[in-house]
Amino acid sequence: MKSDKKNQIINLINLAINEDKVNQDITSKLSISKKLKCKMFVISKNEGILFGIHIVKLILKKIDKKIKVKIFKSDGSSLKKGMRVLSLEGKAQSILKSERTLLNFLGHLSGIASETNRLVKKTKTYKTKICCTRKTIPGLRYLQKQAIKIGGGYNNRYDLKEEIFVKDNHHLDKLNFRDKIILTKKRDRTNKKINVEVDNIKQLKQIVDLKIDRILLDNFSPTTLKKALKMIPNKIETEASGNITPKNILKYAKTGVRRISLGYLTHSVKNFNFSLEY
């Protein structure tokens, strides 16, 4: 892991610890002896893919370095209901005050990895790449995108610097659709990938002959998408996005589109259920 990303994670953990007032756990201080030691287990309550073990270690290191952690399942492991993921042994007060912070990270990231993996398996026959977007929770982007990878998915551009991506909101002046793309390519000195979003067949026809790396077909129905794909040369990568859900994703995968991107994988995926049990 790059040092800047590690520092970002440490800062995020510090924020979470301070937010929960971990060192001011009045309930544990009043109800449990400071000397009491115990052993507790993190248990999986669902089936899915695990991600976030390395974060748990960093959290515990910050709260109490003396807590002994034993890992039973590593990141990327398949989980079943009732499985022991890890054990914690040490001061009861320390373990209890770390509970919510570590389960929040573990549950959120495993939820992303699990849902991604479910869609990857569902569309496997059609060899469509399942991708995430930049619709991430502020501060969590790096970890969320790592969870996507662990689940078998792919990352779309990480940030605004990574690729050139001309979207509908970039067409604010009087230039027509095609001329905007030509001008953008002409001004480019980065040699980075150039991606273009199209909203309809008319726009697609205007730029399909240009040297473009990827075309994102936004809010196309499966029928219209199939029609559009026949017009696009094989050298241009294709991506579908907008109004695609687990319920209709197979219809889109069957069209032959190479990538399907879904924002909900990072901004509103269901939390994976873990519990800390004595």
Indicate if 65 and 138 belong to the same structural domain: no
Whether residue 201 sits in one domain with residue 151: yes
Q: Give the C-alpha separation, 23 to 21, whole Å.
A: 6
Rg (CA), the chain: 23
Give yes or no: residues 172 and 38 share one domain.
Answer: no
Look up tokens 């002046």; give the residue.
Answer: 173
Q: Is residue 93 a contact partner of residue 25, using CB atoms and an 8 Å limit?
A: yes
182 and 130 belong to one structural domain: yes
- The answer to whether residues 112 and 75 belong to one domain is yes
Domain at 190, CATH number: 3.20.20.70
pLDDT of residue 1: 65
Same domain, 210 and 108: no
Q: How far apart are CA 126 and CA 21, in angstroms?
A: 48
**Residue 156 main-chain phi, psi, to 5 deg:** -75, -170
If asked whether residues 68 and 198 sit together in one domain, one would say: no
Q: What is the count of structural domains for the chain?
A: 2
The tokens 């496997």 sit on which residue? 124
Q: Tens digit of pLDDT per residue, the chain (278 long)? A: 677 888 899 999 999 999 999 999 999 999 999 999 999 999 999 999 999 999 999 999 999 999 999 999 999 999 999 999 999 999 999 999 999 999 999 999 999 999 999 999 999 999 999 999 999 999 999 999 999 999 999 998 999 999 999 998 898 888 899 999 999 999 999 989 999 999 999 999 999 999 999 999 999 999 999 999 999 999 999 999 999 999 999 999 999 999 999 999 999 999 999 999 98
First to last CA, the chain: 33
Q: Are residues 127 and 256 in the same domain?
A: yes
140 lies in the same domain as 89: no
CA-closest candidate to residue 109, choices 143, 134, 132, 137: 143
Q: Are 277 and 103 in contact (CB under 8 A)?
A: no
Residues 218, 111, single domain; the answer is no
One-character DSSP codes across 160-185: TTT-EEE-GGG--SS--HHHHHHHHH
Token pair recorded at residue 12: 């995020």
The CATH number of the domain holding residue 56 is: 3.90.1170.20
pTM: 0.95
Which residue range is the domain that position 245 belongs to?
Answer: 121-267
Residues 108 and 126 in one domain: no
Q: Does 133 share its domain with 26?
A: no
